Structure 1
């Protein structure tokens, strides 16, 4: 890590440098929404643009990482909302529905999931960013995935499947848009059977 700049307070290591860049980007987002520049972030930190680019090669990469770093409050809400659900299939249905309903209300969640340059989906639902975010959602569920037979590769496929469902609803929410009981009924009809088929006999209904 180079030590030039940083307004005289050089980070101890790359992890601290990244954390400080993300915090500066968060401040920029809070000031102006998703329309930020590497130049503005670098100026805030007292470094050159090249320093920021060393850690985040594009504005999209910086915005995506910033959004991901700020969605913990939503994940806490999701965990509380799903706290009493132990059945994997019902947890998946409710997790998808609740996430879709919260996108318009949560600024950083919207940045992660809604179409746009900061979206975790900008590189597709199988990108490392998207899959990491999907796993962070499943980890908040009160479900024993191993007991349900959905550990390892099966859990990775479940993450991908959920992200594909969320992506399709984000891109085209339907006409009219489904919400509430109607959305959950649709997901139970078409998504729940796929989850049930992935579960081991011991963990299935």
Structure 2
């Protein structure tokens, strides 16, 4: 018989979220060697609370990475509800580039987590593929985007934009490149 973990109380859930937000900021700004106590302090919790949620540095890195990815991917429904599909895609691309930029700041911490045996990238491609597919399908259905686009091609294009604009002061250039990608996704439609 397997036991299922009980859901977190509201205060424990809030603490976990604050820890993850503080961890993402700290790893992105200060790298993998940021003291765990500094993350706990930034989150407004004690070290014991942090360790109850994340018993190792690697567990914290993995959870922070996945949490940010889930936020980006889960924003698709909200964006599609608020904007036409092509504009929703463009706004989502901005969020994804910002996520990749933060992830590059976490790169050292992610490498350390992988070296210890963790797999922070599990499920990543599925989540991203689903998010991009949903946006592309909505755009094609509305006649705003081409219907022959492979979601993986879009994901790789976004990764390329992130790579070439990852240095400081390149966010404006990233936006222009995202506009070019979106223009390519619109090519051949009536709009």
The alignment's TM-score, normalised by the length of structure 2, stands at 0.50
